[in-house]
Amino acid sequence: MKILNVEQIRQLDQATITYEPIAPIQLMERASQAFVDWFMSRYDAFTPVKVFCGLGNNGGDGLAIARLLLQANYIVEVFVVRYAPRESDDFAHNHRRLKLLINPHYVENPGDMPTLRQRDVVIDAILGSGISRPAEGLVKMVIERINRAPAQVISVDIASGLQANQPNQSDDVTIWPDHTVTFDLPKLALLLPGNARSVGEWHMVDIGLNQRFIDQAPTPYYYTTEAEARLLLRRRERFSNKGSFGHALLLVGSYGKIGAGVLAAKACLRSGVGLLTVQTPGCGYVVMQTAVPEAMCRPDVDDRLLTGPSDVDGPSLADYAAIGVGPGIGKAPETARFLREVLTNFSKPVVVDADALNLLSANKDLIGLLPENSILTPHPKEFERLTQRWQNDYDKLELLREFAQRQQVVVVLKGAHTAVALPNGEVHFNSTGNPGMSTGGTGDVLTGLLTALLAQGYDPVEAAVLGVFAHGMAGDKAAQVRGQIGLTASDVVESLHWAW
């Protein structure tokens, strides 16, 4: 699914109006109805609703929402924030219609603000995606009052004051909603960690905007939906054998961190690999053979570190279908030398995670050795070490895109809405996963999973987008069983499920 910028959304509204065709006011009615359907499925008619409206089209939505809720017998009060003499045409139209049902209150100074109680639900329709400057004066006062109140807050389309696709200044005032109900397509701002407070939980409602316009609109930003991920998933051929699904090699673990390797190995096996060999330091041999009997194990001649040689024979490095390296390996110089050897002798894409990324950061010339289309899976701190410190989330996104394009690799920047940056400059934000996954080892699971997809011959771009989605989906499934608090990385492995 595409993520469009504000200018494109404006053009999209226009294209819908022109080609459907539909009157602008009808489109506003459709958006408001979609919001109301969402609202009524969650809040009953005894909920005291207070709708705060600005004077643009977001305010127009608010007025129409109030009317539709009143017609459904909800208890609704409307507060129009009169911060300017001008109002949009569609606002004025809905204002006239609403006044046939109730008289709105007008907020012109602080004394006009109502007391907001805990059981009130505030609908925030003050400013939408059309803002062109920070909230100030009366609007700022109203936003601050709402934020201080104990009431629940639901923002229409986007929190008032939040910019949809560019950074806000640190002292900008925005609504801090519990929920954002956004129209048709996600906005970039909803996906960025720095905006967490200005977004809350967000939901998308369909208002049927012009699909042909969306299909043609250029954008580097995408949001992976379940339907899109499912299209990437391959069936297993009836007459297949284990050779059909590749032989993967995982280079994992160091003394005290063999568990990271166990998690990666289990995830790899649960993600369809044909054969798996795991190389661990000598101390990991018994652990691996016991915990993961399906995997073959090559113990390193060094008992505590990965250094390369093993007294167990196996295919030469170049013969593996895919290699995943990093979980638990540490940053010893011997391991750095081995990583250099791997990157020099293996020409297919590799999955690089954790300490392997830190070794790249400490030895920047190794970055140039990465096989084309390799998948790097840094969390933000690892990505900062690879590149530099950023000013804000937008700056970070640019660094991410620039790095993936310059190095011709896929970078999976992990976190809520993991961003998968592709060598062609696109960024695909993930839609699955939950804060229960913020626990040690879940990243190691992703490394094993991605290595399995590469071994099976998935294109690295597709492997990254699909793998990140499936990993988050497993996390969501595990959270259903355990709750987010009790979730562990092993639960994520056990919840991996590849038929959806």
Ligand X SMILES: NC(=O)C1=CN([C@@H]2O[C@H](COP(=O)(O)OP(=O)(O)OC[C@H]3O[C@@H](n4cnc5c(N)ncnc54)[C@H](O)[C@@H]3O)[C@@H](O)[C@H]2O)[C@@H](O)CC1
Ligand Y SMILES: Nc1ncnc2c1ncn2[C@@H]1O[C@H](COP(=O)(O)OP(=O)(O)O)[C@@H](O)[C@H]1O
Task: Count how many residues are written for the chain.
Answer: 500
Q: Does 435 bind ligand Y (CB under 6 A)?
A: yes
State the nearest-atom distance from the C-beta of 365 to ligand X, in Å.
48
User: Is residue 437 at the binding interface for ligand Y, with CB under 6 A as the rule?
Assistant: yes
Closest CA to 156 of 188, 189, 132, 179: 179
Binding to ligand X in span 143-172, by CB under 6 A: 156-157
The answer to whether the annotation marks 41 as part of a ligand binding site is: no
DSSP per residue, 220-276: SEEE--HHHHHHHPPPPPTT--GGGG-EEEEE---TT-HHHHHHHHHHHHTTT-SEE
Identity of the residue, 299 or 378, whose beta carbon is nearer to ligand Y in the bound complex: 378
The one segment of 70-78, 110-118, 303-311, 442-450 that binds ligand Y by CB under 6 A:
442-450
Output the smallest distance, CB 476 to ligand Y, in A: 9
Q: How far is the CB of 21 from ligand X (least distance, A)?
A: 12
3-state class (DSSP) for residue 139: helix
Tell me which residues in 318-357 interact with ligand Y (CB under 6 A): 354
Asked if residue 379 binds ligand Y (CB under 6 A), the reply is yes
Of 3, 153, 126, 148, the residue nearest 56 (C-alpha)? 126
Q: Which of 3, 49, 76, 88 binds ligand X (CB under 6 A)?
A: 88
Spatial contact of 476 and 496, defined as CB atoms under 8 Å apart: no
Q: Are strands 419-421 and 410-413 parallel, antiparallel or unpaired?
A: antiparallel
The item of K ion, ligand Y, ligand X, none sharing an interface with residue 160, based on CB under 5 to 8 Å by kind, is K ion
- Please identify which residue in the block is written with the tokens 């190389």: 279
135 binds, among ligand X, ligand Y, K ion, none (CB under 5 to 8 A by kind): ligand X
- Interface with K ion: number of residues (CB under 5 A): 5
Options 94, 129, 155, 418; binder of K ion; rule CB under 5 A: 155
- Strand 419-421 to 427-429 pairing: antiparallel
| Least gap, CB of 145 to ligand X (angstroms) | 16
Candidate segments 17-25, 118-126, 273-281, 413-421, binder of ligand Y by CB under 6 A: 413-421
Burial profile 363-373: b = 16 or more Cβ within 10 angstroms, e = fewer? beebbebbbeb
Residue showing tokens 């640019």 = 398
Asked if 131 interacts with ligand X (CB under 6 A), we say yes
Rounded-to-integer distance, Cα 143 and Cα 135, Å: 8
Map the footprint of ligand X across residues 8-27, applying CB under 6 A: 13, 24, 27
Quick one: what does residue 28 bind among ligand Y, K ion, ligand X, none, with the CB cut-off 5 to 8 Å set by partner type? ligand X
Instruction: Give the sign of the dihedral formed by CA 141, CA 147, CA 150, CA 155.
Output: positive
β-pairing verdict for 375-376 and 410-413? parallel
Which residues here bind ligand Y, judged by CB under 6 A?
A: 354, 379, 414-416, 418, 433-435, 437-438, 440-444, 446, 471
* Residue ranges of the binding site for (6S)-NADPHX: 57-61, 128-134, 157, 260, 328, 379, 444
